[in-house]
Amino acid sequence: MFDLVISNASVVDGSGGSPYRTDVGIIGARIEAVGDLGEAATARRVDAGGRVVCPGFIDVHSHADLTMFRDDAAELLRPLVRQGITTFVGGNCGMSLAPITRENREGLKTYLEVFTQMDFESAVRWESMAEFMQRVEERGLLLNMALLVPHGMLRISALGLEDRPADAGAMEMMKWLLEESMEAGAFGLSTGLQYFPGLFSDTEELVKLSEPLRRFEGIFTSHLRSYTSTTLGKAIDEVGEVARRNGIRGQVSHIFSVPWMGPLHPLALRGLKWLCRHPDAALRLLPGFALDMSMNVVLKRLEKNRREGADMAMDIMPTTAGFTHLLAFFPPWALTGGREKVLARASDPALRREMLKDIEKGKPAWPHRGRNDWSLNIMRQMGWDAVTVMAVHGEKNKHLEGRLFTDIAAEQGKHPFDVMCDLLLEEDGKVLVFESLSEPDDAFTERYTFPALQDPGTMITTDTILMGVGKPSYLFYGCYPKFIGRYVREKKLLGFPEAVRRCTSLPAEFFGIARRGRVKEGYFADLLVLDPERFGTQACFRDPERYPSGLDAVIINGKTVVEDGEVVTGALPGSVLRKNAR
């Protein structure tokens, strides 16, 4: 007897193949049968009425794991399941909540508190990856969670907050922590090479540290060392080298490109911003091959690495607005030694002027390890008007969330950098920001993303940071509905079955997430019931907290989580996924 039969369904099974009419029978957490079940005995039968039944979406670049220590984690993550996400991969960009070691504990505390705005001492009640997984499991999960081992956490455990190469002792400790975490069930190693402390590593460190991944069939993922247009190819090659030399898979995270034109950059940036403000004229004047050129360079670089023996893929967020913590835009030398020292530098007028000089004069030269040649120099490369306040820690400055630093500076009669430093001091370093070349998702900048959105090997991701504070990205509410509503139905960049494959079986297979991502007998029952003609979102940068339309039901591990568009109260059917689970 089945627990649930979904009948009269148009199944899009995640393979990329055409829809077919059939029934889906579920027993426990798994799909037991796909076929004619009209006469089958079942505890519950749901008539899909010809709607599409497809696998739940798998988001392989998320930071939803940073919420998992909280009592309200399930409530905070509701926007994910309400847009059809049934599994996320956390621990990206070299950051997660485990492992926590006694060595350099204060450094780990600083690292996590700046980004998560957590109270480290009261929240952290675990050390190893296994202990963290167990704690999350005991509390219950709204959706499935897989984890990567964070390079940044390993590096701080071994080296503290210092800017120096990993010596033999540090490498031994990092490898031990990696292997212990992989044995606990992690899916691979993640790096944030554009951020502190990952930017202090070199390629040899990454190659050597990743050696154990081959034994575990783990993946190496990377927020690249550079997304600057002139050196992006070299950053992709670095991931390719790690993957090729170790015989493992390599994933390029949330691909984007930040312009750099050398001595002509100020003039070229003004031209780019004009094009962003006048997208109709820009798209009419520029030919398609010119609009596609920048992303096609990325895709060709990936293909070059594949030909050379690297098993590689990438993911993209369907937006032109990135987000991170404000300190990521500061010169690397200013970020060493812990939060107190960092904030002391920001409060020192002479050091503040020195930081500003490095920002305004710095050049993004590979490999971005010098004093003022780091590649996340957003203010130099995108302009001071590219940065918007996303979230602050206290109540005093909540009114600044969603506002450009340049507008705040004009009101206060200050330089934007002084506004940034003063806000960091008032918020104890806990400030998250958006960055975008122009108004987020202007039609001209959006056009750059089209080749990747069409590419059959590129996955779709949210980069979720749902901490219950600030102004969220609208992707946290409508990433997948936007991908399908705008780029499938409206722009017709790809067909619906292929779009579903890109969000389901492709990420499952590349990341090694077993028996998920397909509507197939023996697979876990992570399923969506949706109307493909209505599935979409009205969420946007200025109005992000809007739930999608056209999603009737979400089933996770055989349990209904969303019904008639609403989250089922008390539903916690998610699992901690373990790579080596039997």
pLDDT band, residue 182 (cuts 50/70/90):
very high
Euclidean distance between CA atoms 460 and 447, whole angstroms:
16
8 A C-beta contact, residue 513 and residue 187: yes
Maximum CA pair distance of the chain?
80
Least confident of 150-154, 339-343, 384-388, 493-497: 339-343
8 A C-beta contact, residue 227 and residue 252: no
Indicate whether this model's pTM tops 0.85.
Answer: yes
Helix runs in 185-231, H state only: 203-209, 213-216
Euclidean distance between CA atoms 426 and 398, whole angstroms:
12
3-state helix, strand, coil in the chain (%, to 5): 40, 20, 40
By three-state DSSP, how is residue 540 classified?
strand
Euclidean distance between CA atoms 421 and 405, whole angstroms:
11
By three-state DSSP, how is residue 45 classified?
strand
Map out the domains of the chain as residue ranges: 54-321+439-567, 328-435
DSSP string, 251-299: EE-S---B---GGGHHHHHHHHHHHHH-HHHHHHHS-HHHHHHHHHHHH
- The residue to which tokens 């109005």 are assigned: 543
> What order do you get walking across the sheet with 387-392 strand by strand?
322-325, 431-435, 387-392
Instruction: Count Cβ atoms within 10 A of the Cβ of residue 283 and give its class: 0-12 exposed, 13-18 middle, 19 or more buried.
Output: middle
Question: Residue 582 above 50 pLDDT?
Answer: no
- Average pLDDT on 541-559 reads 96
DSSP string, 352-400: HHHHHHHHHH----TT--SSS--S--HHHHH-GGGEEEEEESSSTTGGG
- Average pLDDT on 323-335 reads 90
- Average pLDDT on 273-293 reads 93
- Average pLDDT on 67-87 reads 96
Euclidean distance between CA atoms 139 and 453, whole angstroms:
37
Q: What is the pLDDT of residue 513?
A: 98
> In one letter, which amino acid is 438?
S
Instruction: Enter the tokens of residue 317.
Output: 């967020």
- Of 185 and 373, the structure prediction assigns the larger pLDDT to 185
Q: What is the pLDDT of residue 113?
A: 85
> What are phi and psi for residue 20, nearest 5 degrees?
-145, 145
- Average pLDDT on 240-257 reads 97
- The residue to which tokens 């004069």 are assigned: 361
- Average pLDDT on 224-242 reads 96
Instruction: Count Cβ atoms within 10 A of the Cβ of residue 581 and give its class: 0-12 exposed, 13-18 middle, 19 or more buried.
Output: exposed
Paired residues of 388 in beta bridges: 404, 434
Q: Using one digit for the tens of pLDDT, what is the confidence trace for 389-443?
A: 999 988 999 999 999 999 999 999 999 999 999 999 999 998 999 999 998 989 9
Q: What percent of the chain has pLDDT over 70?
A: 99
- Looking at every residue in the chain, the average pLDDT score rounds to 94
Sign of CA dihedral 181, 183, 185, 191: positive
Paired residues of 53 in beta bridges: 11, 529
Euclidean distance between CA atoms 7 and 25, whole angstroms:
8
Architecture of the 54-321+439-567 domain: Alpha-Beta Barrel (3.20)
Question: Residue 348 above 70 pLDDT?
Answer: yes
Strand pairing class (551-556; 527-530)? antiparallel
- Average pLDDT on 2-30 reads 97
Q: Report CA dihedral (117, 120, 123, 126) to the nearest 10 degrees.
A: 130
8 A C-beta contact, residue 322 and residue 255: no
Q: What is the pLDDT of residue 232?
A: 96
Going by C-alpha positions, the residue among 461, 449, 553 that lies closest to residue 502 is: 461
Question: Residue 474 above 80 pLDDT?
Answer: yes
Q: What percent of the chain has pLDDT over 90?
A: 86
By three-state DSSP, how is residue 228 classified?
strand
Q: Using one digit for the tens of pLDDT, what is the confidence trace for 363-373?
A: 888 887 777 78
- Of 497 and 196, the structure prediction assigns the larger pLDDT to 497
8 A C-beta contact, residue 87 and residue 515: no
8 A C-beta contact, residue 523 and residue 44: no
Q: What is the pLDDT of residue 58?
A: 98
- Average pLDDT on 281-287 reads 92
8 A C-beta contact, residue 561 and residue 573: yes
Question: Residue 167 above 80 pLDDT?
Answer: yes
- Average pLDDT on 221-234 reads 95
Q: Cα angle at 465 between 461 and 468, to 5 degrees?
A: 140
Least confident of 103-107, 115-119, 288-292, 490-494: 115-119
End-to-end CA distance of the chain: 26
Strand pairing class (144-147; 85-90)? parallel
Going by C-alpha positions, the residue among 552, 558, 560 that lies closest to residue 28 is: 558
By three-state DSSP, how is residue 451 classified?
helix
Q: What is the pLDDT of residue 225?
A: 95
- Average pLDDT on 281-299 reads 94
Q: What is the pLDDT of residue 374?
A: 80
Q: What is the pLDDT of residue 581?
A: 57
Euclidean distance between CA atoms 271 and 282, whole angstroms:
11
Euclidean distance between CA atoms 492 and 496, whole angstroms:
9
